Structure 1
Amino acid sequence: MPSTEPTRAIHEIRAFNRFYTNLIGALDYSRHLYLPYTLTESRVLYELAHSPHTDAADLRAELLLDAGYLSRLLAKFEKNGLVRRAPSKRDPRRQHIELTARGRQAADLQEERSREAVGSLLARVPAADRSRLTEAMRTVRGLLGESRPPCAEDVRLREPAPGDLGWMVQRNGALYAAEFGWNADYEGLVARIVADFAQDHDPYLERVWIAELDGRPVGSVMCVRDDAPGTARLRLLLVEPDARGHGIGDLLVRACVDFAREQGYRELVLWTNDVLRAARGIYQRHGFVLVAEKPHRSFGADLVGQDWRLALHETPA
């Protein structure tokens, strides 16, 4: 007798599809959050605003759209002043698509509406259950989606949104406790660093980057002024364990180095510990030089602290 397990799975998936389409109002165009655009048009706007690959061929592959349908959609966008099309610099046989200022405004409006809609959904879920909900969604995407590992091209670096600074404190405390056994002293240090930045920082000379992958933060780094004149300090480099090994740490450090150089700092320094071998490898690849080491006991462990330095300019800008 054949197993009933596949039948149950099909029933559950179809039931979930009916539930979710009703939940988000996908069938009710009168209250559709993507107005005046269709769902497909809104998705194309999103990809043009966020994807590093914006050739027409890349859009077709990413969204699995018919070439003729996508061409008509892009022609409509161009007529309405939302996009401009030109031969691709990578391959003149391909068509490069980019948003105009008007198109960027439309994409930003769609993003704002989407965040508000998702925020309303999350408001119904008790705070204690939200991590369980998002983990279940990641599981579904992982099982039914592509098994391709994350890479730096999939990551978006952005400024911290409300809650991200708190996330930095929480994840630093939790990860270093789990991986190295550090106690709450380290989380307290991170909290003070983050609080100082939040309360008093120069947005021209200091910055925080959040690495976002599939809508969730997976890494962060901070560039702040040091006490020494003309010197910036790299702080709190972090990459989530499931996102490591794919260039995200390099992406964050490169952003910090480029920012420090562009703002006219003479050098970029950092302090770390010898047990953080992966991070040390990233620093070395970007030209940092170890200048001092000193044993110390901190965070409930015996450690060797290290000072690293990267020369940016020979004279102050």
Structure 2
Amino acid sequence: MNKKYISKIRAFNRFYTNIIGLLDTHILDSKYSLPEARIIFEIYHNPGFTASDIIELLDIDKGYLSRILKRFEKQKIISKTVSLTDKRVFMLQLTKLGEKEFLKLNTNSEHQLKRVFAHLSPLESQTLLQNMESIKTLSNKSKIALDDIKIRTYLKPGDLGFIIYRHGKLYAEEFQYGISFETYVARGIHEFYQSYNPDKERIWVCEHNGQIIGFLLLMKRENNSAQLRYFYIEKRYRGIGLGRKLMQLYMDFFHSCGYTSCYLLTADELETAASLYLNHGFELTKEIESTTFGKPVIERRYDLHVLKNKNSIKK
């Protein structure tokens, strides 16, 4: 990350800590510092936590934590119980007084946030939460799991425009396609919706934390044929099995509708997607050189045919 980005992140940190008062010696009109309040919070929500658990979760200095816990024990905020499995380990829990202190902190925190963000409309509040989730996701080094992704099969206002926009942006950034590609996608999306039949056609919209991160579309064509279109997944969400899942959902719907053939148009640069198509029975049937999208590419057509009277793919 370059210095310009780091400077902006630091500026945001200063802005946010100022908003919620983290620079105050004591937070939420209490006698506790931020680390002390966090420790109370974690023990309340995780009774039986150990000092090691807190160190790992909060990345706090062992000696500093030890001093805080000793003070809390002296003030009767917490109590310790020897672990049944390891006599050297003490499990932590809040006392009745500690629970009262937590509830005060929690109530004050809720009131503070309501006050700070009272001016936001419901839509602005939703946008704020989505952006906060994005910060968490991008900052988290652990990999996103497939189960974290929601897939819906109905359209919401803004979906189609967003798909056009993301195709234009992604293909420009990753493959240097020109504006002509975005207009091509726009024409295709318009064609699809003009005759959209949910019984024979389907969209799969992938979302994470309320934001669209992937898409696939099955479009009805003549002669009991279907076309696979607009298959894309945001870069951060590749490699978790989402592409395979979307292809399986596509094939399941394709067969349930009784289609006898399917095709798709793509380019030679999309090798990962091509392997998915081949694994599901598609065959490369045509290649032509083209500059349609503002650069030289090899356009490819893949076809799939279902054997008559059999639930199998012709190979």
Per the shorter chain, which TM-score range? Answer: 0.5 to 0.7
Instruction: Specify which of 131, 135, 138 is matched with residue 134 of structure 2.
Output: 138
Classify the secondary structure of the residue corresponding to 1:269: strand
- CA gap 1:306/1:65 in 2 versus in 1, 3 angstroms: farther
Tell me how far 1:192 sits from its aligned partner: 1.1
Residue 202 of structure 1 is matched in structure 2 by: 197
Classify the secondary structure of the residue corresponding to 2:203: strand
Tell me how far 1:269 sits from its aligned partner: 1.1
- Unaligned 5+ segments in structure 2 are 1-9, 23-44, 48-119
- Unaligned 5+ segments in structure 1 are 18-63, 67-118
Contact kept in structure 1, 2:133 and 2:209, CA below 8 Å: no
- CA gap 1:315/1:272 in 2 versus in 1, 3 angstroms: farther
Contact kept in structure 2, 1:218 and 1:243, CA below 8 Å: yes
- Alignment partners' CA distance in 2, 1:162 and 1:16: 38
Deviations 1:45-87 (A, max 9, x none): xxxxxxxxxxxxxxxxxxx888xxxxxxxxxxxxxxxxxxxxx
Structure exhibiting the larger radius of gyration computed from Cα positions:
2
- CA gap 1:16/1:186 in 2 versus in 1, 3 angstroms: farther
> What is the letter of the counterpart of residue 277 of structure 2?
Y
> What is the letter of the counterpart of residue 15 of structure 1?
I
Instruction: Specify which of 284, 287, 306 is matched with residue 293 of structure 1.
Output: 287
Alignment size in residue pairs: 207
Residue 63 of structure 2 is matched in structure 1 by: none
Contact kept in structure 1, 2:284 and 2:300, CA below 8 Å: yes
Deviations 1:247-301 (A, max 9, x none): 1111222211111110000122111110111211221222221122121221111
Contact kept in structure 1, 2:288 and 2:298, CA below 8 Å: yes
Deviations 1:209-232 (A, max 9, x none): 1011222111001101123x1211
Residue 40 of structure 1 is matched in structure 2 by: none
Tell me how far 1:197 sits from its aligned partner: 2.0
Tell me how far 1:310 sits from its aligned partner: 2.1
Classify the secondary structure of the residue corresponding to 2:291: strand
- CA gap 1:155/1:136 in 2 versus in 1, 3 angstroms: closer
Residue 159 of structure 2 is matched in structure 1 by: 164
- Alignment partners' CA distance in 1, 2:224 and 2:171: 31
Deviations 1:144-177 (A, max 9, x none): xx54312322222102221111110000000001
- CA gap 1:138/1:16 in 2 versus in 1, 3 angstroms: farther
Normalised to the residue count of structure 2, the TM-score between the two structures is 0.58
- CA gap 1:309/1:272 in 2 versus in 1, 3 angstroms: same
- CA gap 1:313/1:217 in 2 versus in 1, 3 angstroms: farther
- CA gap 1:65/1:283 in 2 versus in 1, 3 angstroms: farther
1:278 paired with 2:272, answer yes
Normalised to the residue count of structure 1, the TM-score between the two structures is 0.57
1:314 paired with 2:308, answer yes
1:185 paired with 2:185, answer no
Classify the secondary structure of the residue corresponding to 1:293: strand
Q: Percent identity?
A: 28
> What is the letter of the counterpart of residue 252 of structure 1?
L
Tell me how far 1:142 sits from its aligned partner: 4.5
- Alignment partners' CA distance in 1, 2:190 and 2:20: 46
Tell me how far 1:185 sits from its aligned partner: 0.8
> What is the letter of the counterpart of residue 294 of structure 1?
I
Instruction: Specify which of 221, 245, 251 is matched with residue 226 of structure 1.
Output: 221
Residue 149 of structure 1 is matched in structure 2 by: 143
Tell me how far 1:14 sits from its aligned partner: 9.2
Contact kept in structure 1, 2:134 and 2:209, CA below 8 Å: no
- Alignment partners' CA distance in 1, 2:121 and 2:194: 29
